[in-house]
Amino acid sequence: MSQPVKIKNALISVYYKDNLEPIIHELNRLNVQIYSTGGTETFIRNLGVSVVPVEDLTSYPSILGGRVKTLHPKIFGGILTRREHEGDQQQIAEYEIPEIDLVIVDLYPFEETVASGAAEEDVVEKIDIGGISLIRAAAKNFKDVTIMASKNDYNELENILKTQNGETTLAQRKAFARKAFHISSHYDSAIFNYFNREEPLQIFKQSIEPAQTLRYGENPHQQGIFYGDLNQLFDKLGGKELSYNNLVDVDAAVALIDEFEEPTVAILKHTNACGIASKNSISEAWEAALACDPVSAFGGVIITNGEVDAATATEISKLFFEVLIAPAYQEDAVKILTSKKNRIILLRKPIGLPSKLFKTLLNGVIEQDKDLVIEGPQQMQTVTEVKPTEQELKDLFFANKVVKHTKSNTIVLAKNSMLIASGVGQTSRVDALKQAIVKAETFGFDLQSSVMASDAFFPFPDCVEIAADAGISAILQPGGSIKDQDSIQMANQKHIAMVTTGVRHFKH
């Protein structure tokens, strides 16, 4: 059965008044008695609609600076009373408690206050007590009460009032209750995580909204959903919706490009850079990045840390790509890039990203800090007789940034702030190096005076020997193997430079 409930009495107490006016007028048309508090009461009265102050119902004023307004048996009794329960009905009659059939309430802006950088005292004052209690009470009694806990649902409520003559069905009330419990749990999670920053309890608690249904997951037979607000990060200037795989690549691209200050362009395939270069301009960086591996670049994700002009856009448009991300575009560049409707063109906004990473694993979740460390020339300790030149140090720094964002086991070869080749995701570091050398030679790169970076130490000297024989003149590795001296001795024997950083950058 639908179990319709006619709305006779409503309690309205909201922080945000957006789009509330049409609902007030509909309730007034339906002769619904409205109870309200503070600013909401004034808002309703200014619309020319009759409203009863909560204080008149409870016979208690708002006290403690507004901390206590609705916390009273005449309010919660009216919400929680069961219409078909004889004992409940006898008690509300005895204590002259009106049945409250509709509760419209929202919560103080806790998350917004935290995000503003407000002092703890101000944040604590935005922990709602009465509002959260009203939401839970009304949602619990959904069989008899309609709870409206978000202004996003006002249009739906307005339509119900207009088309159903002020009656709600059980299915509608239960659906609103489900949304209300989400709002209350999301709010509590935000409060917990705020208080759990210092000496944290080891408890994983996340609530992320909104959600976007994707075309499919990693493969067409898998469903996919993205939880989060992409509009905070990007303005989409053109193209289709981002897919699951697009999002994974975009995440990797953003993390990589943020390592670079010089004009840089990167091209990624399956989260790994197949081309990346830092040059004097974005146009030069694009030309060099594409030259790294023009075959793999086909269908890739492109990202840059500088403005894309019309000339660069024309060159980029010669390549089939899935996504292009930049912090700025010239107007003519946008016209060129959006001439093909399926290309996804994203304008990146300057917003910070979370410092924690987590993913599901087995029957739980693993969490870690993001790898935000990167070692420059100052952290590179020369361990060989031959010292790296200034250019080699610069290229080693470049290569170290790339290797940090490449799947392990990996080897990265670089020269003149440009990726020459990489060996990606190999089970053997020797295989990773051989793969990189073959790729570099395939695209005609001269490995003489190039540099090599490894995401982990060398337990054996074989990689050092292979690299030196290929013409590589300087090597970067974290060090830490009990056989470090074997690799250092091989580098000395081959008259090449080696530096260690003391930091490993695995990426699984």
- Nearest CA to 105 out of 174, 172, 38 is that of 38
Q: What confidence tens digit (pLDDT) does each residue in 268-289 have?
A: 999 999 999 999 999 999 999 9
Contacts of 68 (CB under 8 A, 6+ apart): 62, 129, 130
Q: What's the rounded mean pLDDT across residues 227-246?
A: 95
Q: What confidence tens digit (pLDDT) does each residue in 238-278 have?
A: 999 999 999 999 999 999 999 999 999 999 999 999 999 99
Q: What percent of the chain has pLDDT over 70?
A: 100
E-strand stretches of 215-254: 225-227, 234-238
Confidence of residue 1 (pLDDT cuts 50, 70, 90): very low
In this predicted structure, the answer to whether residue 109 has a pLDDT above a threshold of 60 is yes
Place of tokens 């990624």: 268
- In angstroms, the Cα distances linking 23 to 157, 236, 273, 504 are 8, 34, 54, 59
Place of tokens 């080891």: 202
Three-state SS sequence of 42-72: HHHHHCCCCCEEHHHHHCCCCEHHHCECCCC
Strands 167-168 and 146-148: unpaired
In this predicted structure, the answer to whether residue 29 has a pLDDT above a threshold of 70 is yes
Confidence of residue 180 (pLDDT cuts 50, 70, 90): very high
Rounded CA-CA distance 493/474 in Å is: 13
Rounded CA-CA distance 5/102 in Å is: 10
Q: End-to-end CA distance of the chain, in Å?
A: 53
Burial of 207 (0-12, 13-18, 19+ CB in 10 A): middle
Tell me what pLDDT residue 166 has: 92
Helix (H/G/I), strand (E/B), else coil: 98: coil
Phi then psi for residue 422, to 5 deg, are -145, 150
Q: What confidence tens digit (pLDDT) does each residue in 390-417 have?
A: 999 999 999 999 999 999 999 999 999 9
Confidence of residue 65 (pLDDT cuts 50, 70, 90): confident
Confidence of residue 58 (pLDDT cuts 50, 70, 90): confident
Rg from Cα positions in the chain: 31
Q: What's the rounded mean pLDDT across residues 377-395?
A: 97
Confidence of residue 55 (pLDDT cuts 50, 70, 90): confident
**Residue type at 199 in one-letter notation:** E
Q: Is 270 a catalytic residue?
A: yes
Tokens of 159: 């339509």
Tell me what pLDDT residue 2 has: 62
Helix (H/G/I), strand (E/B), else coil: 422: strand
Tokens of 260: 């670079």
Whether residue 243 contacts residue 214, with contact meaning beta carbons closer than 8 Å, is answered with yes
Whether residue 317 contacts residue 341, with contact meaning beta carbons closer than 8 Å, is answered with no
Q: What's the rounded mean pLDDT across residues 377-394?
A: 97
Q: ω into residue 461 within 30 of 0, thus cis? A: no
Alpha helix stretches (DSSP H) within 264-309: 282-292
State the average pLDDT for the chain.
94
Q: What's the rounded mean pLDDT across residues 486-497?
A: 97
Cα angle 446, 449, 451 (rounded to 5 degrees) comes to 100
In this predicted structure, the answer to whether residue 88 has a pLDDT above a threshold of 90 is no
**Residue type at 330 in one-letter notation:** Q
Q: What's the rounded mean pLDDT across residues 194-203?
A: 90
Strands 33-36 and 225-227: unpaired
Tell me what pLDDT residue 95 has: 84
In this predicted structure, the answer to whether residue 63 has a pLDDT above a threshold of 80 is no
Q: What's the rounded mean pLDDT across residues 126-143?
A: 94
Partners of 324 in beta bridges:
302, 345
Whether residue 460 contacts residue 493, with contact meaning beta carbons closer than 8 Å, is answered with no
Place of tokens 């440009």: 418
Q: What confidence tens digit (pLDDT) does each residue in 163-173 have?
A: 999 999 999 99
Q: What's the rounded mean pLDDT across residues 187-197?
A: 94
Q: What confidence tens digit (pLDDT) does each residue in 332-367 have?
A: 999 999 999 899 999 999 988 999 999 999 999 999
- In angstroms, the Cα distances linking 341 to 142, 243, 299, 304, 344 are 47, 15, 15, 21, 8
Helix (H/G/I), strand (E/B), else coil: 190: helix
Residues 215, 274, 422, 411, CA torsion sign: negative
Which conformational region is residue 126 in: left (phi greater than 0), alpha (psi within -120 to 50 degrees), or beta?
alpha
Q: Which of 17, 25, 140, 151 is catalytic?
A: 140
Partners of 226 in beta bridges:
212
In this predicted structure, the answer to whether residue 139 has a pLDDT above a threshold of 60 is yes
Strands 211-213 and 225-227: antiparallel
Rounded CA-CA distance 267/1 in Å is: 58
Tell me what pLDDT residue 359 has: 93
Check residues 187 and 75 and name the one with the higher pLDDT: 187
In this predicted structure, the answer to whether residue 204 has a pLDDT above a threshold of 60 is yes
Tokens of 120: 């703890």
- Nearest CA to 433 out of 487, 397, 495 is that of 487
In this predicted structure, the answer to whether residue 133 has a pLDDT above a threshold of 90 is yes
